[in-house]
């Protein structure tokens, strides 16, 4: 137990966790009915459930993004992949097909998109930022092409279950993201895969010398990030029961990167923290909900978000910590 | 002048621009007129000015995501101060340029002094500037200033009917000044050095921190100048303008032959990158049956081709070295 507590305090996302806890404490104290969770028709309702439900897409993207960033990369195309997956799903949902026929092709398309990114990064040797920029720019164009420039609406109860469904009183999306997180955690922490990913991020040449195929690992994480984006796309599309190629998942790639970085994973690659990314995603959503619940105008969310991002990044920055320590010591010396 | 490998990307960009323009002129004879050519400069003036600043950030191996929001914020602040408070137009422009430069320096300070990733810091800057402009006004504010009306109407006559207007002059001037800074000053050489290898630049005793702060200050300045141009172009300020502009600017820089890993590239290439995007857009609006999403798809494809070309060149160079 003591070891566990020490691990948490030493973890790089400790301060993010503290911030999240402070945010919750603030809300419990000052936001009316924040902590209330009600049961209606066997389903749980409340602000906390709402925060969890709304952070599902960011958590899904964050899981994929964490692995990509751990290899020293970045995936800017997830927003565009969301749009493409959503467009395909909406077109199929109109045809009243079976659930699987609606869900599988978008995921396949997302995997192909991820594969394209991975190919450019791992085989063609293009920097990840640029390689994924290509799809980021053109992906939304492809989605608009599929939709014919219109918002495609559909009604398909089985498919809508993804965001409207409840299992044991909790929204289905939560189980989805928890399932993805758990399987990734098992795959990376109970097998050597996680170490491989980290070693590729820390030093690709050295990992090649010890026999890890850096390009295969990179290809894998981009495909996985693509699939995560595809799942997020399905959830977001069912939420509004329509595919809006222009706006769905807009700027979500930024939120996903943000969640990962707030979670203590360094953008230069190396060690990654899945739990940290979950904390990051929760911070982003809790912040938005808090500000809205306090009746502050929506624009202020962005400004507060900016300050929180800088603050948490600063606390996690080694050179900032060193400076604070120096200042503290200088103060002691003077006194 | 001997042709060097590093000149190939910019030559390729020029070739693509000429080919695209020729193809468009072949389809629509009216395309090959002075007016359409000048319009390319007018319609993309703000993008071009913003891209000049972005080129410096990219040359140093960084990125500036805040430019789109800064453009919106500039427009809102400018229109508000001039139209609603009646301040002197030129003083307001000087003030916003100062403000934008200061904003960029603050981001540069965080990036340089605390080793925070430029992506995250300028992302925060993007949130901040967008939020600030929405707090100032959610509605579009018209710009009412007789003085600025006259400034915007000013132009150098090129023929009987076509003028080279003020905002296009600013674009050309910005590219010229940017090129001068990059090629002929100590600061410019430091930028290239940092982009080539920050570690080596540090060991050579170059002022890495100061240069980095300068880079983002410069990027903030050009983004604000782009905002001023955009305001003169639309004669209003709106908090939602310039969304996604940072992407267009980055695409222009990359198509213009600058390596996103830093250290390689020329500013005039960025102007060509902007003009190429302009030609595609103009072609699509000329055609009328093609939809706007084709712009995105074609620009994506162009990005792909240029990036492959660059990767191939840098690999060839590495091969020759070894």
Q: Cβ A138–B296 below 8 Å, yes or no?
A: yes
Model ipTM value = 0.83
For residue B286, the model assigns a pLDDT of: 83
For residue A292, the model assigns a pLDDT of: 78
For residue A325, the model assigns a pLDDT of: 82
- Using CA atoms, how far apart are residues B31 and B23, in angstroms rounded to an integer? 10
Structure pTM? 0.88
Residues 252-271 of A with CB under 8 A from B: 254, 257-258, 261, 267-268
Chain A residues whose CB is inside 8 A of the B311 CB are 124-126
B162 in contact with A, Cβ within 8 Å: no
For residue B320, the model assigns a pLDDT of: 62
B177 in contact with A, Cβ within 8 Å: no
Range of the domain at B115: 5-321
For residue B157, the model assigns a pLDDT of: 85
Tokens (6 digits) for B242? 């310039």
Q: Where are the domains of chain A?
A: 40-316
Taking domain A40-316, whether its CATH number is 1.10.10 is answered by no
Measured between CA atoms, the residue of chain B closest to residue A268 is B117
A299 in contact with B, Cβ within 8 Å: yes
Chain A residues whose CB is inside 8 A of the B125 CB are 306
* pLDDT 10s digits, B118-150: 998 999 999 999 999 999 988 899 998 888 888
Give the residue ranges of chain A where pLDDT is below 50: none
Q: Cβ A138–B301 below 8 Å, yes or no?
A: yes
- Using CA atoms, how far apart are residues B307 and A124, in angstroms rounded to an integer? 10
For residue A152, the model assigns a pLDDT of: 86
Tally the domains of chain B: 1
Q: Cβ B138–A299 below 8 Å, yes or no?
A: yes
A136 in contact with B, Cβ within 8 Å: yes
Measured between CA atoms, the residue of chain A closest to residue B292 is A141
- Helix H or strand E encompassing B56: helix B45-59
Q: Kindly report the CATH number assigned to the domain that includes residue B261.
A: 1.10.3470
For residue A235, the model assigns a pLDDT of: 92
For residue B317, the model assigns a pLDDT of: 66
Give the residue ranges of chain B where pLDDT is below 50: none
* pLDDT 10s digits, B50-76: 999 999 999 999 999 999 999 999 999
């Amino acid at each position: 137990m003591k070891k566990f507590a020490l691990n948490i305090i030493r973890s790089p996302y400790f301060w993010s966790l503290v911030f999240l806890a402070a945010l919750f404490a603030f809300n419990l104290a000052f936001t009316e009915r924040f902590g209330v969770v009600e049961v209606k028709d066997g389903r749980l309702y409340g602000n906390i459930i709402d925060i969890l439900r709304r952070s599902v897409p960011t958590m899904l993207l964050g899981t994929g993004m964490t692995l990509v960033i751990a290899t020293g990369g970045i995936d800017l195309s997830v927003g565009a992949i969301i749009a493409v997956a959503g467009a395909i799903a909406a077109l199929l949902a109109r045809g009243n097909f079976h659930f699987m026929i609606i869900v599988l092709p978008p995921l396949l398309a997302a995997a192909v998109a991820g594969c394209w990114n991975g190919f450019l990064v791992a085989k063609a040797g293009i920097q990840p930022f640029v390689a994924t920029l290509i799809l980021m720019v053109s992906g939304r164009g492809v989605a608009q092409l599929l939709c014919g420039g219109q918002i495609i609406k559909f009604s398909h109860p089985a498919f809508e279950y993804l965001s409207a469904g409840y299992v044991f009183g909790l929204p289905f999306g939560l189980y989805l993201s928890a399932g993805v997180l758990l399987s990734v955690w098992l795959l990376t922490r109970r097998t050597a895969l996680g170490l491989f990913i980290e070693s590729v991020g820390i030093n690709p040449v050295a990992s090649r010398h010890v026999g890890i195929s850096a390009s295969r690992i990179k290809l894998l994480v981009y495909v996985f990030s693509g699939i995560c984006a595809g799942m997020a796309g399905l959830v977001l599309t069912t939420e509004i029961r329509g595919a809006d190629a222009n706006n769905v998942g807009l700027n979500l790639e930024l939120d996903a990167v943000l969640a990962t970085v707030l979670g203590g994973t360094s953008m230069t690659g190396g060690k990654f923290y899945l739990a940290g990314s979950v904390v990051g995603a929760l911070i982003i959503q809790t912040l938005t909900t808090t500000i809205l619940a306090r009746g502050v105008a929506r624009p202020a969310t962005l400004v507060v978000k900016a300050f929180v991002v800088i603050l948490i990044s600063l606390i996690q920055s080694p050179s900032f910590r060193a400076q604070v320590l120096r200042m503290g010591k200088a103060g002691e010396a003077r006194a | 002048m001997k042709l060097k490998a590093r000149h190939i990307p910019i030559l390729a960009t020029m070739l693509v621009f000429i080919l695209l323009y020729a193809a468009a002129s072949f389809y629509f004879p009216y395309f090959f007129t002075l007016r359409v050519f000048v319009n390319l400069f007018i319609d993309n003036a703000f993008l071009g000015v913003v891209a000049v600043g972005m080129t410096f950030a990219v040359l140093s191996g960084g990125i500036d995501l805040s430019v789109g929001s800064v453009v919106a914020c500039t427009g809102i602040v400018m229109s508000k101060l001039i139209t609603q408070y009646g301040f002197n137009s030129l003083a307001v422009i000087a003030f916003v340029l100062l403000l934008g430069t200061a904003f960029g320096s603050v981001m540069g300070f965080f990036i340089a002094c605390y080793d925070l990733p430029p992506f995250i810091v300028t992302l925060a800057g993007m949130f901040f500037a967008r939020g600030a402009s929405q707090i100032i006004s959610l509605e579009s504010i018209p710009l009412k200033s007789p003085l600025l009306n006259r400034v915007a109407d000013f132009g150098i006559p090129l023929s009987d009917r076509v003028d080279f207007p003020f905002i296009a002059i600013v674009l050309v001037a910005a590219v010229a000044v940017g090129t001068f800074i990059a090629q002929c000053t100590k600061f410019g050489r430091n930028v290239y050095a940092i982009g080539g290898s920050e570690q080596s630049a540090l060991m050579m005793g170059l002022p890495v921190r100061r240069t980095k702060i300068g880079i983002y200050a410069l990027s903030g300045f050009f983004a604000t100048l782009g905002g001023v141009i955009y305001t003169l172009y639309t004669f209003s300020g709106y908090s939602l303008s310039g969304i996604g502009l940072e992407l267009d600017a980055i695409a222009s820089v990359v198509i213009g032959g600058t390596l996103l890993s830093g250290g390689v590239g020329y500013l005039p290439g960025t102007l060509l990158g902007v003009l190429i995007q302009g030609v595609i857009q103009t072609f699509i609006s000329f055609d009328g049956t093609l939809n706007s999403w084709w712009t995105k798809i074609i620009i994506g494809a162009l990005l792909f081709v240029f990036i492959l070309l660059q990767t191939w060149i840098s690999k060839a160079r590495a091969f020759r070295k070894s």
